[in-house]
A and B are shown apart, each in its own frame.
Chain A
Amino acid sequence: MELSEFVQEGLQYLADSGYFNDKAFAVMIEVAFRSLLLSSSDDTVLDNNELKHIEQTVVKHCHSAVTTCILECVKQNADRSTICTCLEDIRFDPERIDTFCSLYQKHKKDLENVLSSIGRGLPHINDASWRLEYQIKNSHLHKVNQPSYLITLSTENSGSRSAEEVNFSCNMEQLQVRALRLSWKEASPATNVLHDNKITFIYFF
């Protein structure tokens, strides 16, 4: 795990007992974790009695360095040994490393949730219902005699919105192509149902 010079300098301040004694160190680490997990940004996150007597630029430098370090660790899914090696290179004491690692373990799941919520995704298909229609004739042709499917897929997208529905109609070849694309090995039951029905239809016709 590589850390930039700025982050390493900040962490070196943190490792130095002259700047941060043990209590201030614990407070700093906790403040860093809390500021990453808050749902609303807080200006006063660094206003703490323990941190007031240390020079403020150093405090802010360390805060940004620690938050960046935490995010890098979560991003690379670093295990305890990697973090320990990394912090030992910056000359942390073993107890400080333990404090950091235990807090990291405690908050790791939440941080992973925060990081995994970044990004955009397509809606998930939850359910499908189909209807088969058979065209005998239409206004353009006297005799058509072709089956086609009307398919409704109900989708789900990021929690809050209710299930939306996607309606479309397609003939047999298009359905084959789409069902093949949907058929994975352990797909959800909805698409399995779709797959089975498609097969029975094809055999039927």
Chain B
Amino acid sequence: MEEVDRILIHSLRQTGTDVPEDVDSVKQFTSELIVEAVVRCLRVIDPALGNGLSPSLPPGMSARFRLGMSLAQACQDLGYKGEIGYQTFLYSNEPEIRSLLMFLVEKLPRESAEASSQPAGKSALLLKSIAAQIKAQLFLPWAPPSCRLPLLCQMQSPGLSNGFHTQPLSLPHRSRSSGKTLKEVKDYYRDFLLPVTAQPSQNSSVPASLLEQHALDLSAAQEWENEWNSQGLLSRLSPEDYRARKRARLQKRIEEQLRAAAQSCSDVQNASRSGPDLVDLLPSFGGGTVGDQLLTKGTRFTHTEKFTFTQDPEKAVQQMAAAVNSLPTSHQSEEDIRAQQQEELASMQQQLQQLSLHVDEVGGDIKKLTVAISKVSEELKQQEQSNTEKVATIRIKRQTVDLLPDADNNLAKLQALVDASSRRVASLSSQWEKHRAPLVEEQQRLKELCSSQELESSRKLSEIKGLHEKIRQSAEDAKKKEGLYKQLVTEFENLPKDVSRSAYTVRILEIVGNIKKQKEEITKILSDTKELQKEINNLTGKLDRTFAVTDELVFKDAKKDESVRKSYKYLAALHENCTQLIQTIEDTGTIMREIRDLEEQIETENGKKTLSNLEKILEDYKAIRQENSALAAKIREA
């Protein structure tokens, strides 16, 4: 009981009740203390209920009575199932008080339970530590800027002065993708590359740049891991091959996209050529200078046209020179000169027209002739083909004609030849079959091997995947458990050490062991009792039967013999006395049980201190009657 009382008193002290130091058990609680404890517990459990009740016992009797009733009502509202009324508080007894206080203490909300029941995720931990830091900082008193010590300066002056600016850093040994670094690059790294902290243009962006570089590396590595584990392993290539294939694929896509964009771009610019190559396309984005190059490829026709025309202008120039020379020198009037020039112009134009007609005709002739040439070449080819065929047939016929004179022999020889060749064909085919069959078998075997190996490899891939998963899972679990362990260790160190839980747990385990032993003993006793009862029943049965038999026997003989009659009387008396004895023993046992029960009841009644309570009740009753009469007198006066 003492541990229970100690726990109760400790919890009551935590709710704010001022329990004096020497009070050790619930037996020593006075009414005031009880009332204060109950009210404080109510205030913690349900502030709405408890705030209306005062923790101290008022002096007036009726006020005390009212307080007791309201407290009883509040406790019943909370769900206390025992019998409770004003008498529990004003005229208390130990067991009732103990059960009431235990009920209230159990109802106290557990503040620490919710905090520790959450498994702490990383973000929850981080938020908690941030909250703790902010609380600590808010706790410091604020000081005006001129009075701040450096420590306060750090927390209270706004210290954020630089934004998060990053600059890309160049790090040595970085380019692993290209395989080998060039010698010049290596020399650059060795001799000229600035140290990392000197590379950003502003010193304040050094930490930001370093952190960003690191985060980029980590996330790239993680991305590669994820991709390799999901797609890379399925493709069954080595990492470098997979990377090379991916790079080629991406380059092709880029080309296609650029081509499509260039098409739509060059359609606008009205150029109608199919894009030959990426290198050629890129100048087409430049714009304006394209159009000049389009006409460099002329057709044969325009070239010939140019050539024929160069001739004619020469002729025309010569003609003009001749015409100029034939002109009469000076002393001609202007009009004449003009008329002459007009005439020459007209004649020139006529000539031009004639020549262009001529050119057209010639062009038409050329076309016709080329068509005729192609036709004729076709016919020539066909003729040559039929020629060769005819030559071949002539040869065969000549040979047969040569063979004709010696017809029979030759026929026989030819026949033998034909037979021999057919035999040879047969033998060759059989040899071929002989070779073919094992090769076909070999091919089948290898195919099966290949497919089974594929099956194996896919099975192993899935195994590997499963193993990866397990590895990742167990690594995560290990990390989580370590984090949890650290957090629990810190929490454990932070816990208050005033109530030693280990003592209680040891005690509880002891009690559990005791109870187990007692249960065993009780079962043993029960089984013993059953055995005894069975024996008693047996013996009573035997007794009855024996007595009945003896009785009959003796009675039969008692009719004849006197001594037998006496012995029969003694037998009957013995039987009756023994039955009486047995009855007495049973009664004694019952009475002893009743005595034990009554003693227990006496003890409990003694604990209730009924007598002192009765005296108190009588006094209070007298006090209430006095108050009533005083109030009635006051009313009558007023």
* A41-B206, A55-B190 known; A116 vs B172 contact (CB < 8 Å): no
> A4: which of B154, B173, B198, B218 is its contact (CB, 8 Å)?
B218
Q: Lowest 9 A-B CB distances belong to which pairs?
A: A4-B217, A64-B196, A35-B197, A121-B160, A119-B160, A41-B203, A56-B190, A188-B142, A57-B172
- Mask: chain B, 129-163; 1 = CB below 8 Å from A; 0 = not: 00000000011001011000000001011111111
What class of interface size applies to chain A in its complex with B? 35 or more
B207 touches A115 (CB 8 A): yes
Report how far A119 CA is from B476 CA in the complex, Å.
33
Interface flag for A182 (CB, 8 Å):
no
B197 touches A118 (CB 8 A): no
A156 touches B145 (CB 8 A): yes
Name B's interface SS: helix
Interface flag for B368 (CB, 8 Å):
no
- Chain B residues lying within 8 Å of A18, measured Cβ to Cβ, are none
- Chain A residues lying within 8 Å of B197, measured Cβ to Cβ, are 35-36, 38, 41-42, 45, 63, 67
Interface flag for B195 (CB, 8 Å):
yes
Residue of A nearest to B202 (CB): A41
- Chain B residues lying within 8 Å of A115, measured Cβ to Cβ, are 207
Expressed in whole angstroms, the minimum distance between the Cβ of B29 and any Cβ of chain A is 37
B157 touches A68 (CB 8 A): no
10 A-B pairs with CB atoms under 8 Å apart are: A3-B214, A6-B171, A6-B174, A7-B214, A7-B217, A39-B203, A41-B203, A68-B210, A113-B159, A185-B138
Report how far A3 CA is from B217 CA in the complex, Å.
9
Interface flag for A52 (CB, 8 Å):
no
Expressed in whole angstroms, the minimum distance between the Cβ of B264 and any Cβ of chain A is 42
A60 touches B145 (CB 8 A): no
Interface flag for A2 (CB, 8 Å):
yes
> A118: which of B163, B174, B218, B221 is its contact (CB, 8 Å)?
B163
> A5: which of B163, B189, B221 is its contact (CB, 8 Å)?
B221
Binding site for B on A (CB under 8 A): 2-7, 9, 35-36, 38-43, 45-46, 55-57, 60-61, 63-64, 67-68, 71-72, 75, 113-124, 126, 156-159, 184-186, 188-189
- Chain A residues lying within 8 Å of B200, measured Cβ to Cβ, are 41
- Chain A residues lying within 8 Å of B206, measured Cβ to Cβ, are 36, 41
Given A7-B214, A45-B195, list of 5 further CB < 8 A pairs? A41-B198, A42-B198, A57-B190, A68-B213, A186-B139
- Chain B residues lying within 8 Å of A75, measured Cβ to Cβ, are 211
Report how far A119 CA is from B531 CA in the complex, Å.
88
Q: How many A-B residue pairs have CB under 8 A?
A: 134
B207 touches A159 (CB 8 A): no
Binding site for A on B (CB under 8 A): 138-139, 142, 144-145, 154, 156-164, 169, 171-174, 186, 189-191, 193-198, 200, 203-204, 206-208, 210-211, 213-214, 217-218, 221
Report how far A114 CA is from B203 CA in the complex, Å.
11
Report how far A117 CA is from B163 CA in the complex, Å.
8
A118 touches B195 (CB 8 A): no
B195 touches A43 (CB 8 A): yes
B211 touches A60 (CB 8 A): no
Residue of A nearest to B154 (CB): A113
Expressed in whole angstroms, the minimum distance between the Cβ of B173 and any Cβ of chain A is 5
A120 touches B163 (CB 8 A): yes
- Chain A residues lying within 8 Å of B138, measured Cβ to Cβ, are 184-186
B207 touches A158 (CB 8 A): no
Residue of B nearest to A163 (CB): B145
B195 touches A60 (CB 8 A): yes
A71 touches B161 (CB 8 A): no
- Chain A residues lying within 8 Å of B208, measured Cβ to Cβ, are 118
- Chain B residues lying within 8 Å of A116, measured Cβ to Cβ, are 159-160
B158 touches A121 (CB 8 A): yes
> A43: which of B159, B189, B194, B210 is its contact (CB, 8 Å)?
B194
B158 touches A159 (CB 8 A): yes
- Chain B residues lying within 8 Å of A114, measured Cβ to Cβ, are 207
* A6-B217, A41-B198, A159-B159 known; A71 vs B173 contact (CB < 8 Å): no
Residue from the set B144, B154, B197 with the largest chain A CB neighbour count within 10 Å:
B197
B173 touches A118 (CB 8 A): no
Report how far A118 CA is from B160 CA in the complex, Å.
6
Expressed in whole angstroms, the minimum distance between the Cβ of A54 and any Cβ of chain B is 11
A157 touches B158 (CB 8 A): yes
* A4-B218, A119-B160, A158-B159 known; A35 vs B207 contact (CB < 8 Å): no
A189 touches B196 (CB 8 A): no
* A67-B196, A121-B158 known; A60 vs B163 contact (CB < 8 Å): no
- Chain B residues lying within 8 Å of A67, measured Cβ to Cβ, are 196-197, 210
- Chain B residues lying within 8 Å of A56, measured Cβ to Cβ, are 189-191
> B164: which of A42, A71, A118 is its contact (CB, 8 Å)?
A118
- Chain B residues lying within 8 Å of A43, measured Cβ to Cβ, are 194-195, 198
Expressed in whole angstroms, the minimum distance between the Cβ of A201 and any Cβ of chain B is 24
- Chain B residues lying within 8 Å of A4, measured Cβ to Cβ, are 214, 217-218, 221
Report how far A46 CA is from B174 CA in the complex, Å.
20
Expressed in whole angstroms, the minimum distance between the Cβ of A51 and any Cβ of chain B is 11
- Chain A residues lying within 8 Å of B163, measured Cβ to Cβ, are 118-120
B160 touches A120 (CB 8 A): yes
Residue from the set A9, A55, A118, A122 with the largest chain B CB neighbour count within 10 Å:
A118
B172 touches A60 (CB 8 A): yes
Report how far A68 CA is from B156 CA in the complex, Å.
29
> A119: which of B144, B145, B164 is its contact (CB, 8 Å)?
B164
Report how far A167 CA is from B129 CA in the complex, Å.
37
Residue of A nearest to B164 (CB): A118
A123 touches B142 (CB 8 A): no
B158 touches A60 (CB 8 A): no
- Chain B residues lying within 8 Å of A188, measured Cβ to Cβ, are 142
- Chain B residues lying within 8 Å of A46, measured Cβ to Cβ, are 195
B203 touches A38 (CB 8 A): yes
- Chain A residues lying within 8 Å of B164, measured Cβ to Cβ, are 118-119
* A5-B221, A45-B195 known; A117 vs B158 contact (CB < 8 Å): no
Expressed in whole angstroms, the minimum distance between the Cβ of A33 and any Cβ of chain B is 11
> B158: which of A64, A72, A124 is its contact (CB, 8 Å)?
A124
> B207: which of A5, A7, A36, A186 is its contact (CB, 8 Å)?
A36
- Chain B residues lying within 8 Å of A189, measured Cβ to Cβ, are 142
Expressed in whole angstroms, the minimum distance between the Cβ of B131 and any Cβ of chain A is 12
B198 touches A57 (CB 8 A): no
* A39-B203, A186-B138 known; A6 vs B173 contact (CB < 8 Å): yes
- Chain A residues lying within 8 Å of B221, measured Cβ to Cβ, are 4-5
Report how far A132 CA is from B210 CA in the complex, Å.
53
Residue of B nearest to A31 (CB): B195
A68 touches B160 (CB 8 A): no
A117 touches B160 (CB 8 A): yes
Residue of B nearest to A76 (CB): B126
Residue of A nearest to B192 (CB): A56
Expressed in whole angstroms, the minimum distance between the Cβ of B247 and any Cβ of chain A is 20
Expressed in whole angstroms, the minimum distance between the Cβ of B489 and any Cβ of chain A is 11
- Chain A residues lying within 8 Å of B195, measured Cβ to Cβ, are 35, 43, 45-46, 60, 63-64
Residue from the set B142, B144, B214, B221 with the largest chain A CB neighbour count within 10 Å:
B214
- Chain A residues lying within 8 Å of B191, measured Cβ to Cβ, are 56
Residue of A nearest to B208 (CB): A118
